[in-house]
Structure 1
Amino acid sequence: MENVFEELKFPCGKIMPNRLALAPLTNTQSNADGSLSDEEIKWLAMRAEGGFGITMTAAAHVNSAGQGFPGQLGVFNDDHLAGLKKLAKIIKAQGSLAVVQLHHAGLRSPRELIGEMPVAPSPSEKFSARGLSHGEVKSLIEDFITGAERAKAAGFDGVELHAAHNYIICQFLSSEFNQRTDEYGGSLQNRSRVLFDIITGIRERCGKEFLLGVRLTPERHGIELEEAIATAKVLFEKKEIDFLDISAWNVYKEPVDEALQGRRLLSYFTELDRGAICLSAAGKVYTPEDINYCLEAGLDFVLMGRAAMLHHNYPALLKSDSGFVPNRIPVSRDYLLAEGLSERFIDYVGGQWPDFIAS
């Protein structure tokens, strides 16, 4: 397992102490105003203390109208800075890189939560969402850039742009949800313009030493794998980001597109010329064997979700014992409480994955 604990240097100069990152996990633990709660700080602090090379927050919305779920972390107001500063200091004190994931739910924002009609690249009758005006698209881009500036001001090492899971950047990339006729719709180049304008703005205003990553959906939600590959190529060619995070759901899976099956989905990205930019993925990375598979397949690091919920100190346990066997679900509520999950987080987990918690 020696390669798992090798340092990784990003193009911006930031150094990750190992190849294990905490995936950005929805946890509903923030306060109603988007500020960090002590519960959420505890959850993240324990993962940093446990040895994860990157400790990434849950999706943090960059605009109050882009909230996607109750108890979501916010990064749209200077009132959030006090909690963010406290968290960044705790994470970095453990030698872990502190990263905020920037997010806007778009048409997935529940109207009853945000108090208004959700927005999308184009009007959606199915989701009861209105289309953004040209000026509002410009404001959306600015919201993401300002969110990154706020994260930097709080002391975080960097940010990841959530361009996956049919949230708003993914909606712009999607030919299904983006029916615009201006420079933000039509061709893939136009549909990806919002993403690239955000990236350029963050790099210009946060500097070349600020860690910048992108989470990308490779398929589903109107995203065709070939277009996702094309977007990844441009991301690598432009050399403005430090890492690309593929949300694969299962790192072993083959593509949905039958014409592209016969090989692993991730292979379409690992084979690309990415220069110094790092490549990572999430999706059922659980055992040491899973980690080795990912690194041998060509990833630079992996993001761990459920495994990190079960073991706050997974990296430390693995480093001390290469034969470490992680616990399996279901586990008790008391077990999860001891691992730093709050009652709110555990309730959310039980609602999403009923088989996670022992009855």
Structure 2
Amino acid sequence: MSAPHPALARAQDFCARYGLRLPILLAPMAGACPPSLSIAVAEAGGLGACGALLMPPAAILAWAAEVRAGTRGPFQLNLWIPDPPPRRDPEHEARLRGFLGGFGPAVPPEAGDAAPPDFAAQCEAFLEAAPPIVSSVMGLYPPEFVARLKHRGIAWWANVSTVAEALAAEAAGADAVVVQGAEAGGHRGCFEAGSAEAGMVGTMALVPAVADAVRIPVVATGGIAEARGAAAALLLGASAVQIGTGFLRSPEARLSPAWAEGLARARPEDTRVARVFSGRAGRSLATAYVAAATAPDAPAPAPYPVQRALTQAMREAATREGDLARMQAWAGQAAGFARAEPAGRVVAEIWEGMRALLR
């Protein structure tokens, strides 16, 4: 029997290290990772994931317990590294509230005061949940938390968007880097919030550059939703692929039907990176709200997390009403490849396609 393709051999080594059958990972998408989706991906041989940014400790522990009740497969828990406190501008926020009121319910003056859950408490919940893998985005975990992870045998993967960030993550003790190309849906995982748009490097260029620069495994993410992209990522030096948008049309994702239908129609040019939902740069479908909020005469977004708090009422109303025009419809540039099939079938089809292409 001939030896496996070197790219597949590298992926097999990675899978053996992390208890996976297949090198296909669910992306940890905050607000879009119900336990049902992770259970389905893990049962198919991949890795489940939870983007815990918006979750208090009790919710994190409940999520982990529900996933463990549904599968013996592994999963990762992910957190954003907090930004410095935002600079507030009451007059500008008043203009934003007036603008946003045209797209949804009136926004009260105190809306922008909402803050994310306590980061330190979330970290403690991660240690208590004790997943096999904890990942970071928007920066690096503090050294003392990394040491506690290592002491408990929990691997740390760092999401990076440049070669420089990958080198910094490796130096800080990361066990792997998740290399996010600019094609990715949702937020750009840049260490410096202000540089997200200027540093938009595509997956095709970024993955091999990082693979050549670091000694730790590389996971490729961004613009990968089918077998061709996944096989290409392995050929470029990745040990596994992480997929977000490609799973969102699966029934286990429990996505709003309007959002799911928007993904099905999307071409790569139908997405846009903007700060108009959260104050952080993120790629979504180019909806009517995105177009209006990025127009020259629109008020500039407030910093994160103020903008997210100000848009919350609009986003919630859009979801209730099934109105894609105002919805926070995150979408990567490969959204059109997402299929309305069970997540386990999506995993299997991508893997079989990868194997055929890498024979």
The normalised TM-score by structure 1 is 0.51
1:86 — aligned with what? 65
1:122 — aligned with what? none
Matching of residues 1-359 of structure 1 within 5 Å: 3=8, 7-9=12-14, 14-27=18-31, 40-49=34-43, 51=44, 53-58=46-51, 60-61=52-53, 73-75=54-56, 77=57, 79-80=58-59, 82-90=61-69, 93-95=71-73, 97-103=74-80, 106=83, 115=113, 144=119, 146-163=121-138, 169=139, 195=140, 198-204=142-148, 207=151, 209-218=153-162, 229-238=163-172, 240-250=173-183, 264-274=205-215, 277-311=216-250, 329-330=264-265, 351-352=328-329
CA contact (8 A) 2:220 2:242 kept: yes
Find the residue that maps to 1:329 and give its secondary structure: helix
- List gaps (5 residues or longer) in structure 2: 89-109, 185-195, 253-262, 267-318, 339-359
1:172 — aligned with what? none
CA contact (8 A) 1:148 1:202 kept: no
CA contact (8 A) 1:4 1:20 kept: no
Quickly say closer, same or farther: Cα 1:82–1:146, change in 2 above 3 A: closer
Shift of residue 26, structure 1, vs aligned partner: 3.4
Distance in 2 between the 1:106 and 1:256 partners? Answer: 17
Identity of aligned residues (%): 14
AA matched with 2:128? A
Question: Which structure dedicates a bigger proportion of its chain to helix?
Answer: 2
2:288 — aligned with what? none
The normalised TM-score by structure 2 is 0.51
What's the C-alpha RMSD, in Å, of the aligned pairs? Answer: 4.5
C-alpha deviations, 1:309-331, integer Å up to 9, x for none?
23479xxxxxxxxxxxxxx8239
CA contact (8 A) 1:46 1:312 kept: no
- List gaps (5 residues or longer) in structure 1: 30-39, 62-72, 120-139, 164-168, 170-194, 219-228, 314-327, 332-342
1:222 — aligned with what? none
C-alpha deviations, 1:10-41, integer Å up to 9, x for none?
89x53332210001223368xxxxxxxxxx22
